[in-house]
Amino acid sequence: MNVYWLEQTEADVPAENDWLSANEALCLDAMRFAKRRADWRLGRWTAKCALSVYLDVPAHLDIFKKMEIRPAATGTPEVFFGDLAASVTISISHRSGRAICAVAMAGVEIGCDLEIVEPRSDAFVADYLAIEEQQLVASAAAADRDRLLALLWSAKESTLKALGAGLRLDTRCVIVNPFVESFDFISWNPLQVRHTGGRDTGDHSAGDRCTLDRSTEDQVFHGWWQHADNIVRTVVGAPPPNTPIALTIAGHSFHRASRLA
């Protein structure tokens, strides 16, 4: 399975909102907090840019206004042109003024995430990592600890998105094997994530948000991770994705004056 990806920053997003669909504009207007608004706009812009390249449609105002990204009941983003669902699967992540969108064919499971490499506490390790992952962190070199934790957390986020569950599930229900040998390169590297039969309990106030259902076999996801510029990026999917392919928007830039006008 081929998975394509595109990354954008807040500086890439137009100041105007006229590239949003009518429903998206209403959604944005309902958001109270500036950071939430900025992150949401950045995610939508990145996704629409990625889709324009992947679907080979012009990056024009009229096209972007017709292209609408709606959350499914699970929260997973779905793409529509008007009322017609697009034959595509996407995942979106944003952090600290940067966003990534992964795109694949319809009918597959994918998730992507990006994380800043930063210190995380021992309490974070105990609360959010499975025993196997805690052991991996304990055996890592001190210089690699922050990068490894960013990688583990990012891969969990990607997998929970692929599952259509997000943080409704306890993050310990997914166990990451990143096959880490070195952080000294920026190429994509393989990883594997095992979903241990966790299911949503519905009691999100409880400390454990999942229970283990051993009546089913573990579900295994495959994916890729990359570390560059103090950022860890992960892409996870089923069926197993090939090495992620970067989308190029040079020569495919957004134009406010539409040829369709």
Whether the per-residue pLDDT at 19 is higher than 90: the answer is yes
**pLDDT, tens digit, for every residue of 114-153?**
999 999 999 999 999 999 999 999 999 999 999 999 999 9
pLDDT band for 233, please (50, 70, 90 cuts): very high
112-238: same fold as 4-108?
A: yes
Higher pLDDT, residue 25 or 202: 25
pLDDT band for 6, please (50, 70, 90 cuts): very high
Residue type (1 letter), 203: D
Tell me the fold of 4-108: Ribosomal Protein L22; Chain A (3.90.470)
Higher pLDDT, residue 203 or 76: 76
**pLDDT, tens digit, for every residue of 208-219?**
444 444 445 689
Mean pLDDT of the chain: 88
Check the CA dihedral 240-224-55-42 and report its sign: positive
**Out of 169-173, 176-180, 257-261, least confident range:** 257-261
The predicted structure's pLDDT at residue 212: 43
Q: Nearest CA to 224 among 193, 196, 195, 194?
A: 193
Q: What percent of the chain stands above pLDDT 70? A: 87
Ordered by start, the domain boundaries in the chain are 4-108, 112-238
Domain 112-238 has CATH 3.40.50.300: no
pTM, rounded to two decimals: 0.88
